[in-house]
Amino acid sequence: MTDLSLQQPIENTAANTLLEQYSRGDFFFNSPTRAMRAFDWRASRSVLGSDAEQMLQALLTEGTASGQKAPIVVGVLPFADDRRGCLMLPGQLHSMAPIGQWASRQPEPSLDLEAIQATPVPDHHGYCNNVSTALEEFRQGRLSKLVLARTLKVTTRESVPITPVLRRLMKRNPDAYVFATPTSPEGGSVFLGASPELIVRRTGRHISVNPLAGSTARHANAEDDQAAAAALLRSPKDLYEHAFVVKDIVRLLTPLCSELNVPDGPELLSTNKLWHLSTRIEGELADPATTSLAVARALHPTPAVCGVPTQDAFAAIRRWEGFERELFSGMVGWCDANGDGEWALSLRCALASDNELVLYAGAGTVEGSDPDAEFAETGTKLGTMLAAFGLDDRLGQLHHSTSLSSEKES
């Protein structure tokens, strides 16, 4: 495998090459610690979420047997254990230091996609009704938190070009986990996005976990933006929601770790669209054989994407949302033969298939949530991908199924 060096300063040529040589069917991942493009698959396997760790070890063994000195497995796994993701053993890996800040200084490619139809599932009424139903479950004591999602299915006149979308995601979200991955060994569809949330990073025995829960929209005016951030840090509803997530993650990490450092309270993390409440948890694994994927699987699905209690929330999601999440709110990343790796939640994402897009967004609902406010939050989150595809101006606040005129998007 080729390594473009994780230590040397970023050069325009190397960073450009990493993006320009991307093609549909490759795996691309840029995090705050590295950028990579994997391709030339030695093996590619469709895998149930429940079989992910077994498949990881099988692929790493296959890599070692074929003569690879440092095999690595990359891929994407689903939200639900009974759905399928894709894990891949690359024959070629180009890896370098992260290129997010470099990308933020580059010109943004223009896109001229024409959306001819857009359908929200569920629509405004359906989504708000789901939130109201959840609120009643809270009052009855059956649930404490529930993350409810929706999709926006968009048909475009042209086939969606992935490389310029990746560049736009990188420029607008330089600190995010930007990814693009095949969804099956057969290729075809590309799952891509710019997630703000790390499930786990493992380096030796050390792990980092960075749950997010509690969000508010950013503002163009700097004074209003700072006021919104300060209000989020004081918001009882959002602090309550965030505490659920942190408490559950600490519960799950405790038996895996010999040391665990948990801050007293959350800090702020920003994307180009949102402020988030963020807690950075650091730990030392008790067993050095515990891989990054094993930790990620132990934590998933967290209350940040599911709810509390987990099993009851998961059942409610499947009853009410009206669609199957598949890879949305699953995980995307990599793991090497030492067990080191990074896995991010697959959020702020879309599935691109020829001239069809499916965009996903969810919001955490707790006691005190407002249905319209939760719907607006999902709209803001959808805006990350709509902007990347150049479709935000006319589709960002879409509430109802509609056919669009042939006028080009601005």
Q: What are phi and psi of 300, to 5 degrees?
A: -90, 140
Is 381 designated active site? Answer: no
Residues contacting residue 79 through CB under 8 Å, at least 6 positions apart: 49, 301, 305, 325, 326, 327, 328, 329, 330
Given a contact cutoff of 8 angstroms between Cβ atoms, the answer to whether 349 and 177 are in contact is no
Three-state DSSP string of 139-158: HCCCCCEEEEEEEEEEEECC
What is the Cα–Cα distance from 15 to 18, expressed in whole angstroms? 5
Element (H, E) at 302: none
The arrangement of strands across the sheet holding 267-270 comes to 212-217, 274-278, 267-270
Residues contacting residue 352 through CB under 8 Å, at least 6 positions apart: 160, 162, 165, 189, 190, 191, 192
What are 30's strand-pairing partners? 35, 178
What is the Cα–Cα distance from 103 to 249, expressed in whole angstroms? 33
Spot the catalytic one: 137, 197, 326, 374. 197
What is the Cα–Cα distance from 193 to 165, expressed in whole angstroms? 9
Is 326 designated active site? Answer: no
Spot the catalytic one: 137, 145, 171, 273. 145
User: How many residues does the structure list for the chain?
Assistant: 410
Write out the catalytic residue numbers: 145, 197
